Amino acid sequence: MTVVAVIDSGGGNIGSVRYALERLGARSILSVDPATIASADRVILPGVGAAAPAMARLHALGLVDPIRRLRQPLLGICLGMQLLYESSEEGEVECLGLLPGRITRLQPAPGVRVPHMGWNLLQKHESQAGSEPLLAGIGERDHAYFVHSYAAPLTEHTLASAVHGARFTAVAGRGRCFGAQFHPERSAAVGSRLLANFLALEA
């Protein structure tokens, strides 16, 4: 059985993330202990809220460097994905630096409300389509559920994107580090498939 350490980042989505993992046959452990996290088969960094207090919590718990040193697959979800980048405009905070780029605020416009809340179309990026196991079985017309006001830019590590006013990174990947801006635990079959693919990744 795959053991997944879910980092206790204080977010309100932790319970639903753990339930989604357990439905897929994984064992989840909620932890802030660096040794427990480092010994797990997979690690998930969930998050709901703002970047600055989330990073302050990780620093206070002594988890910043242990997260940076992880060698097993790591998945950041929503705010957790944003924390994987170099910095965030939200609170002008330095983040984990595992993915290059800066998180910026979504810009409201006529017909474009911020925060972005609801289902949105995922678009795989051509350079990654068919070659990224995290997105296996997720089609070009599939939708996922988003709740966020900040987002990551498009980079060479963008695996899939979505549009809310402007196009932003919806799924990112670099080496063993991955992020999903949407909530897989609330995205029905698409979210379940992404989590199953994450559990199946080679360590």
Residues designated as active site: 78, 183, 185
Helix ranges restricted to H, 4-50? 14-23, 34-39
Give ∠ CA 189-152-35 in degrees, rounded to 5. Answer: 75
**19 CB burial (10 A radius; 0-12, 13-18, 19+):** exposed
Q: What is the number of other CB atoms lying within 10 angstroms of the CB of residue 117? A: 13
In whole angstroms, what is the distance from residue 108 CA to residue 106 CA? 7
Cα R_g (the chain), whole angstroms? 15
